Every structure is written in C-alpha cells, then in structure tokens.
Amino acid sequence: QVQVVESGGGLVQAGGSLRLSCTASGLVFESYVIGWFRQAPGKEREGVSMISGHGKRTYYTDSVKGRFTISRDNAKNTLYLQMNSLKPGDTAMYYCAAGRMSSAGWPPQESDFRYWGQGTQVTVSP
C-alpha cells in the first residue's frame, strides 16, 4: 500500500521561510516523479514544483521561481521543498504527489500523479 505523507507546514510572516517534507512508502521511490501542488480557497489546484526520479530535471511554476527549491533524497524516500521569501499569495494547502510520466514531455501533467498525500497547510501573514 502506497502512503504519501507531508509535513512542515505552518504559519509564517511574509518574507519568512518554511521547508516542507514528503515521505513516500510502498513504492520504488526513485522510479517516480514527485511533485508539490497547492490549492488556495476558491482556486484551482496548481503544480508548484516537480522533480524527476534521479533529480536531474526540475520544474517550478513562474510565481515561485527563485524563491522555492525542490530536492529529493532517494535513500530516505523523502522529498523537500525549501520555500524562501514567502508571500501571502503562497498561502494554500500543499500536497505532495508521486507519479510516472505518460509522455516524453516535461513537466508531467497533473493526471500523471497517481498517489497523493493529505496535504499540509501553509499560511503566510502580511
């Protein structure tokens, strides 16, 4: 049984930092693309950042480029998202998801992500 568990969310002031972690079990971790998605109240879920199985390819949505860094430790089945210079607009529930790409294109589509965590809340105050 595959389990995906996020941690590290919380309340932080604008300009602050948080590091999210995601552990996945029950799968061959390095065989999966892992991604961070977020959903704010009243908004659609969006892909924030993704990383390929061995970490050679990454993706960031435009609004987080230069502020967020994704990384993974395959030996620990763990994914990280270092979030710096946080803004109130980053407030959302953050989800970790694992998937396999259905095509050769990068980044993968949201539909490629099969296993999802329950989410961790990130709140950035002004």
In this prediction, residue 123 carries a pLDDT of 98
Q: How confident is the model at residue 97 (pLDDT cuts 50, 70, 90)?
A: very high
What is the rounded distance in angstroms from the CA atom of residue 120 to the CA atom of residue 68? 16
In this prediction, residue 96 carries a pLDDT of 98
Tell me the backbone φ, ψ of residue 36, rounded to 5 degrees. Answer: -110, 130
Nearest to 10 by CA among 20, 22, 24: 20
pLDDT in tens, 7-61: 999 999 999 999 999 999 999 999 999 999 999 999 999 999 999 999 999 999 9
Q: Do residues 106 and 33 lie in contact, with contact meaning Cβ atoms separated by under 8 Å?
A: no
